[in-house]
Structure 1
Amino acid sequence: MEKARKITPKVMVSRNTLLIFGIIFVAFNLRPSITSVGPLISFIKEDTGMSNSAAGFITTLPLLAFAFLSPLAPRLSQKIGKELTVLIALVFLGIGLFIRSSGMLFTLFLGTGIIGLGVAICNVILPGIVKQSFPTKVGLMTGMYTVSMGTMAGIAPGISVPLAETLHLGWQGSLRVWMILIIPALFIWLVQSKRKEKIPGQYFQVTPAHSSLLSSGLAWQVTLFMGLQSTIYFCFITWLPEMLYSHGVHISTAGWMVSILQFSGIPANFIIPILADRVPNQKGIVIAIGALCMSGLIGLLVGGNLVLLCLSIISIGLGTGAAISLALTLMVLRAANAKQAANLSAMSQSIGYFLAALGPILLGFIYDVFHSWTIALFLLMVLTIIMTVAGIGAGRNQYVLEEKRGAIHTL
């Protein structure tokens, strides 16, 4: 009989290193396919003749996929394993990128939907993988993959227009470029998927406890914070170039402004999860996030000159960068175990992204009707206030479902 291979500390370090790189490369692929679209919307509209509301749907469609497909990710992972699940998700992402860039209106939306499927699965699985594989380094690992996600999310909008115009790739070729990032990620997760490791405690199993999260006020607060911060973020990713264009900023410069927004959030991407993991509760962090977003929105509303617009965008970038990192961290911190983290991740991303999906369409509709971004900015201010209130509740030092076993902590 063949002897079982002994897993030495050296082997474990090697496996963890490969897993870390795998997480980073997945994170690289989670946002460029979405953030690269905003600066190209004017080209797409001119080529296809679509309205602002329809153009907003290009960004919204992946969010709808996140909303409806996120609950399926834990079930799929339970059946075939988390590594193979991530690998399949990356394949779908690559297929979606190829189909979307074919140039036809139908394939533009079809490919975008398939992209949403791939990203949705990865969105849900990653927080659970961190909880399972790095339980003592939740903040560090969450910071690492949100920085990776934010870096590529920032590069994409900045180079979208130059790729389309300077390199003469058109909007189709500019969107197709991001298939390059899929290749190393596929290789790493192909290696990961060949491992036949037993997942302790049926890690991704969805039990009746998942449905009971719907009765947890804390779970709903985490979900609402996740959804509203995503709404604000994706509204800016979609419409910030058009907002700035209305202020007289050239569309190419406006694309780089979206990159500034993304890059401004990178320090917060890394620092906030580590800080959130160390403090007793996260209420103060939430209040700071709300203040940053609100001050940036006021700056955009006032307008004026390019310096003020840049400062406003940096403020929003810091706020939204901190918000997504905190939202992902709360999914882990508010869960008592890895299985609960997967279920909370599925709930908060499913319902949260459904809320976020309404934002870009609604803002596009408002602009179509009023031909001004003022009402849209006021709406985002209201959403920022609600997000802050929900985040203060989500920042309590408590596990979901703990309300039923003990007294609810006061705010």
Structure 2
Amino acid sequence: MRGAAGRFLLGASLVLIAFNLRPVFSSASALLPEIRSELGLSALGASLLTTLPVVCLGAFSPLAPRLAQRFGTERTLLGVLLLLALGTGLRGLSSVPLLFIGTALAGACIAVGNVLLPGLVKRDFAGRAALMTGFYTMALCAGAASAAGLTLPIEHALGGSLEGALAVWALPALIVSLLWLPEVLRSGRQARRNGFHVKGLWRDRLAWQVTLFMGLQSALAYCVFGWLVPILRERGLDGVTAGAIVSLSVMVQAASCLIVPHIAVRGRDQRLINASLCGVAVTALLGLLFAPLSTVWLWAVLQGIGQGGLIAAAMTTIVLRSRDPDVAAHLSGMAQCVGYLLAAIGPLIVGLIRGWTGSFSWCAALFVALGLGAAINGWKAGRAVEINVHAAEKDG
């Protein structure tokens, strides 16, 4: 049994782990023009760089429950942090192949971490699932905001070192791995249970609605992480100002993440809040694309409210639609496997639209389509019912 101090330390550790699961995305976005000029990256290469980690989120998500069953959740998360630091560091070696290899490795680690966190919340904080979901999704946003706002100033402080500005984000992951180590040692003294499997999840309609809600709102989020700084810079803002605007938007996301789960669990269901947040996020993106530059700070705040709320709503939906922690872990794996593979299409299409048309304006049609799809599936996934599957213990 954990005391109050032990539960606080566990919760704080989970929040700090979550902080490290987003800087890879927004740090590269903030320096995308510099990466293209210094490393000779083409428009297609830039699109692939912003899309690659999102593809990895989907491709490696199914491995997370298996790794957790084999090695234990705590040990798996320690490995995630160490390999994430390695992958992030590889991006700072002035090599295009290592830039892509490091990004892919970091994306794979983030995929595993993304899947395991909801299961840990369901297991260790069942009575405070909304609060903990809010805290760790807030930390996800805080990590993205920090990288968006600080990466370019760090590059300037390092004398224009692109490599150092990309690699510096390995340090927080290394520090948190040391903080997580006592939890790993503690879990090693616990008896390891047999693995669990969930039958029928991939045939369940509600599970697919949760998955599509996760995927389509994630596509909007990664369009923001990957391309909003270049969009604003193309509209005439300097790099530091554009990064600051995106950082503000993502910091507002963090606040929205903390509030939305509490609102979501108080209602009879989550249909209206899921659909409404989609409308807010898309409207704000259109404002950032077309509204006068004097108003972009306002639209950034509004976009942060909508997008941060969507991230938290999607994570909360996974927890609320699951009967137990094992179903939550497997549903999280499914939602993030299919969802992030779907989400990867978003930033890729944005880059292709920019290459084909010479402008980001036509991205508006993409944002509206993604938002409409997310709203429809968010409405269906928000019904107050649970997925009709159970976790069964494997023999042996």
TM-score (norm 2): 0.94
What per-residue deviation string (whole Å, max 9, x for no partner) do you get for residues 274-330 of structure 1?
2222222001211220221132133134332322x2222222111110011111111
- The yes-or-no answer on 1:191 pairing with 2:178 is no
Unaligned runs of 5+ in 2: 390-396
The 5-angstrom pairing of residues 150-165 of structure 1 reads: 150-165=141-156
Question: For residues 295-306 of structure 1, what are the structure 2 equivalents within 5 Å?
Answer: 295-306=283-294
Write the deviation string for residues 162-182 of structure 1: whole angstroms up to 9, x where unpaired. Answer: 111243152211111112212
Give the number of equivalent residue pairs.
388
Q: 1:392-411 counterparts in 2 under 5 A?
A: 392-401=379-388
1:53, CA displacement in angstroms? 2.5
Amino acid at match of 1:192: E
Deviation at 1:250, TM superposition (A): 1.2
The answer (yes or no) to whether the contact 2:134–2:260 under 8 Å persists in 1 is: yes
Aligned to 1:207: 197
Q: After TM superposition, list the pairs within 5 Å mapping 1:367-378 onto structure 2.
A: 367-378=354-365
Partner of 1:407: none
CA–CA separation in structure 1 for the residues paired with 2:34 and 2:387: 46
Match of 2:41 among 50, 54, 74: 50
Aligned mates of 2:142, 2:330 — CA distance in 1:
28
Instruction: Give 1:279's aligned residue.
Output: 267
Please name the residue that 2:102 is paired with.
111
- 1:332 and 2:316 equivalent? no
Amino acid at match of 1:122: G
Confirm or deny that 1:170 pairs with 2:161. yes
User: Is residue 235–residue 363 contact of structure 1 (8 Å, CA) maintained in 2?
Assistant: yes
Q: Which amino acid aligns with 1:88?
A: G
| 1:363 matches 2:354 | no
Which residue, 372, 375, 381 being the options, matches 1:388? 375
* 2:234 aligned to which of 238, 246, 256: 246
Matched, 1:220 2:208: yes
Partner of 2:122: 131
Q: Which residue of 2 aligns with 1:348?
A: 335
What's the counterpart of residue 262 of structure 1?
250
| Aligned-partner Cα distance in 2 for 1:14–1:294 | 41
The corresponding residue for 2:392 is none
Structure 1 residue 14: deviation in Å? 3.1
State percent identity of aligned pairs.
34
Larger radius of gyration: 1
Q: In structure 2, the residue corresponding to 1:396 is in which secondary structure? A: coil
Q: Which structure 1 residue ranges, 5 or more long, are not aligned?
A: 1-6, 403-411
How many angstroms does 1:33 deviate by? 1.8
Instruction: Report if aligned partners of 1:84, 1:189 keep a CA contact under 8 Å in 2.
Output: no
TM-superposition CA deviations, 1:42-66 (whole Å, max 9, x none): 0000012212221122222111111
Secondary structure in 1 aligned to 2:86? Answer: helix
Residue 217 of structure 2: aligned partner: 229
**Residues 247-256 or 118-127, more deviating:** 247-256
Q: Aligned partners of 2:379, 2:276: CA distance in 1, in Å?
A: 11
Match of 2:6 among 15, 31, 34: 15
Give the Cα–Cα distance (whole angstroms) in 1 for the partners of residues 378 and 134 of structure 2: 19
In 2, the alpha carbon distance for the partners of 1:346 and 1:188 equals 26
What code does the residue aligned with 2:333 have? Answer: A
- Deviation at 1:15? 2.5
Indicate the residue corresponding to 2:24 in structure 1.
Answer: 33
TM-score calculated relative to the size of structure 1: 0.91
> 1:289 aligned to 2:277?
yes
Moved more, 192-201 or 365-374: 192-201
Partner of 1:149: 140
1:385 Cα offset (Å) = 0.8
| Displaced runs of 4 or more, over 6 A | none
Task: Give the SS at the match of 2:165.
Answer: helix
